[in-house]
Amino acid sequence: MLDYAALAAVAAVAREGSFERAAAALGVTASAVSQRVRTLEDRLGAVLIVRGQPCDVTAIGARLCAHVERVRLLEGEMASALPGLASQIAESGPPTIRVAVNADSLATWFIPAIAGFAGRGDRLVDLVIAGEDHTAERLRTGDVLAAVTTDHTPVQGCRTVPLGALRYAATASPAFVAQWFASGVDAESLARAPVLRFDRRDDLHARWARTLFGPEPDMPTHWIPSTHGFIDAALAGMGWCMNPIPLVANHLRTGQLVSLTPNHHLDVPLYWQHARIGTRLLDALTREVVAAAQDGLL
């Protein structure tokens, strides 16, 4: 059996970033929080919290924190039938829903969904940024309760809802196009022109190139792990990149950016997957996500 007082201490340290702030949130002393965490670590034979300023949670600790939130969701489902339990849940603070989402969705259409869900202040969200092709893995490991993903195959114990597609365009500044694509866009010019990529898992540029030219060439690469940084770097003429059209529509309209292939886009289908537990809160979040997707996706 897990010690849920100790688990609550681990979750509080992970959430607050220090033993002192965790103690204040739990209404106990910092030494009591430290003792609970240390005892649980000794019992499990694993480090759960990396001590520092701020403290950080290990991978195992993150899974235990997710487990704590799952338990709170299940308890919340029972609260309407058990008034005594409802008062205890209220004393422990609002529940936190941990969600994996890709950076481009967060920058384009997802914020209205979480704002609608958490706007009253009685629910909190903890967003984890991951590539859209890899967010479902966070569900499989138990790290999150829900995810925006390109994977339509339901993770075990989860429900899948189709959302629509986020459309991307290959864009660059006019000066960059004149320098690198003066004779047109083809496999040979793509092999020379610098491309911007978010991280090593980002393959949108390759998928776009394959649909046009077959096997993509090796491309010189700038690594810029920021959605808005992509736009700034493209405007500055550093390289070409795949941008969500909702983010660059104004730049395309004013001519600050141009599409490398105006008649060819890349549509990325997105799905919402969420755990089947804690259905009251997760169903409420799902309604907001679907509504936001209807407004922001194809």
Domain-embedded: residue 2: yes
Per residue in 213-245, pLDDT (tens digit) is 888 788 999 999 999 999 999 999 999 999 999
**SS3 assignment, position 81:** coil
Domain-embedded: residue 50: yes
171 and 263 co-located in one domain = yes
- C-alpha 260/C-alpha 184 separation (Å) is 9
- C-alpha 285/C-alpha 124 separation (Å) is 11
- C-alpha 82/C-alpha 60 separation (Å) is 32
Mean pLDDT of 257-273: 96
Task: Give the end of a domain, one of 37, 67, 91.
Answer: 91
Helices (H), 17-160: 19-26, 30-44, 59-79, 83-91, 103-108, 111-118, 135-140
pLDDT at 86 over 60: no
Domain-embedded: residue 238: yes
Domain-embedded: residue 283: no
Q: Torsion angle of alpha carbons 245, 249, 252, 258, nearest 10°? A: -10
Backbone angles phi, psi at 279, to 5 degrees: -65, -30
**Domain residue limits at 256:** 166-267
* Structural domains of the chain, count: 2
Question: In the structure encoding, which two tokens stand for residue 283, read together?
Answer: 């169903």
Domain-embedded: residue 245: yes
Predicted pLDDT of residue 278: 62
Domain-embedded: residue 203: yes
Per residue in 248-258, pLDDT (tens digit) is 999 999 999 99
Domain-embedded: residue 190: yes
Domain-embedded: residue 34: yes
Predicted pLDDT of residue 107: 95
CATH number for the domain harbouring residue 208: 3.40.190.10
Task: Give the end of a domain, one of 28, 62, 91.
Answer: 91
CATH number for the domain harbouring residue 69: 1.10.10.10
The listed range with the strongest mean pLDDT (24-38, 40-54, 81-95, 169-183) is 169-183
**SS3 assignment, position 143:** coil
Cis ω for the linkage preceding 225 (within 30 of 0): no
pLDDT at 91 over 60: no
Comparing 2-11, 76-85, 169-178, the range with the smallest average pLDDT is 76-85
Average pLDDT across the chain, whole number: 89
